[in-house]
Amino acid sequence: MTTLAETKTEDLVEYYFEQAWSDGLPVVPPTPEKIAAVIDALGGDPEHLEAVVPPRRGGLTRQILAVNMVMAGCKPEYAPVVRAAMLALCSPAFNLNGVQATTHMVSPLLVVNGPIRREIGMNSGHNVFGSGNRANATIGRAIRMILLSVGGGTPGDLDKSTLGSPAKYTYCIAENEEISPWAPYHVEHGMNPDDSSVFVIASEPPHSVTNHIADDAEGVLDSIISAMSTIAHNNAVSSGSCAVVIGPEHAATISKSGWTRHDVRNYLWMNAGNKFSALSFNDRYGKIYNRNLPRWYKREPDARIPIVPSADDIHLFVAGGEAGRFSAFIPGWGHMTSPVLLRIDGTSPDAAAMCEDGTCRL
Amino acid sequence: MIYDPRGTIDAPVLHLAKRPANLRGLRIGVLDNTKWNGWKLEDRIATTLAQRLSLGPIKRYKKESFSRDARPELLAQIAAESDLVLTGIGD
């Protein structure tokens, strides 16, 4: 900590830019009062170490967490969400070291479930992935600031992403539980509806799926399957897990056909994929085995290669505004990471610790 | 007050292993990172080095995932069974 003899707010904004303690946008200069309010919301004890953030392995104490949250523009009541998200990101299964350092454009997507969404005013409706809501914007931004400053994910240094993505500024939504015809995501995974949870998945940005024609489940889902079935995204060549966000109008159409969440995930899994011949470029560049795909896939030209190994690797959410027949497919990074679901207090619904071989993936 | 947002690093400083004075006969371990073509390059380098420098036997190991850390047990096994280790990353 340094003391400047005279400081004006605008000087501090420039000072933080000069130190490269920013995501490229102006930060809110942290003051002792604002930091103290966030530390209080975290339970006091500013030196308490919450996590170690790779690849730099910087220590994320409550004080450092609070400084970054204030700089990102967070209110103190967002603190449990940001903390739980960081605990999820820093758990071994997620492999944040790889997510931060890879040449791929991956960024963690945070999805929040349960009562805390409403308590802190998160947006789960119109423009859910877009701008305009303080909680969504600044929670995601605080996570990115921590990944940059504490985790050392500086572009070109420890972050080697070739292209990056806009999701590397902020990538945080809430599920629209109120409008969804199905049980919320965290309830599907064994939690109580009154629990609040955070879910993180290392992923590419959303790919829009339009279908303004279909009046049945198959029609809507076939459009999502079309978006999933390409050889261009990372799931196609590296397996892993992905997310599908169904817009409320599409969800209503699917539900009217009597389909459950389970039916939807199974149908997507059964029908999305590519032939191995497409993934191996028809041997144009020599015989390719692809060691990133599960070993139990057939490496034969006509073999169907699913987008992810099982229907449970498709993480399904309902989000967005009530008008518009749109959904989104969100490809994951690949088998190198496993998504993590935590209760808002940071505890896990299962005892998963090491998921290196995929046996205890979410 | 200026608050530094980076947090401190509390990790032991690690040093590189001592360089052997003579390479002749030393056991070489090759850790395949499982990238598509990485093992081809590593295998060629290990074989060439072994011939040119009269190294000892080559033993090959494989990580579960190119992006994740190798399992601690695997690292311990490599350390116990090798005098030199060759690894790297590449598609």
Instruction: For A230-269, write each residue's pLDDT tens digit.
Output: 999 999 999 999 999 999 999 999 999 999 999 999 999 9
User: For residue B64, with 0-12 CB atoms within 10 Å meaning exposed, 13-18 middle and 19 or more buried, which class applies?
Assistant: middle
Place of tokens 């999305």: A272
Query: What is the pTM for the complete model shown?
Result: 0.93
State residue A350's pLDDT score.
60
State residue A291's pLDDT score.
87
Window from A173-177, A182-186, A350-354, B17-21 with minimum mean pLDDT: A350-354
Confidence of residue A362 (pLDDT cuts 50, 70, 90): low
Residues in chain A closer than 8 A to B42 (CB atoms): none
Predicted confidence (pLDDT) per residue in A258-305, tens digit: 999 999 999 999 999 999 999 999 999 998 888 899 999 999 999 999
- For B3, which residue in chain A has the nearest alpha carbon? A1
Measured distance CA(A310)–CA(A297) in Å, rounded:
12
**A241 and B CB contact within 8 Å:** no
- To test the contact with chain B by mutation, choose from A291, A299, A359 the residue with the greatest count of B C-beta atoms within 10 A, namely A291
CA distance B50 to chain A (A): 27
Question: Would you put residue A343 in left (φ > 0), alpha (ψ -120 to 50) or beta?
Answer: beta
Between chain A and chain B, the number of residue pairs with CB atoms below 8 A apart is 77
Mean of the pLDDT values across residues A39-55?
98
Residues in chain B closer than 8 A to A149 (CB atoms): 5-7
Residues 110-149 of chain A with CB under 8 A from chain B are 145, 149
State residue B39's pLDDT score.
85
**A292 and B CB contact within 8 Å:** yes
| Higher-confidence position of A214 and A9 | A214
State residue A127's pLDDT score.
98
CB contact under 8 A, B64 and A356: yes
Confidence of residue A111 (pLDDT cuts 50, 70, 90): very high
**B67 and A CB contact within 8 Å:** yes
State residue A8's pLDDT score.
63
State residue A351's pLDDT score.
47
State residue A7's pLDDT score.
58
Q: What is the CA radius of gyration of chain A?
A: 21
CB contact under 8 A, A97 and B36: no
Angle of helix A79-89 relative to helix A32-41, nearest 10 degrees? 70
Measured distance CA(A235)–CA(A233) in Å, rounded:
6
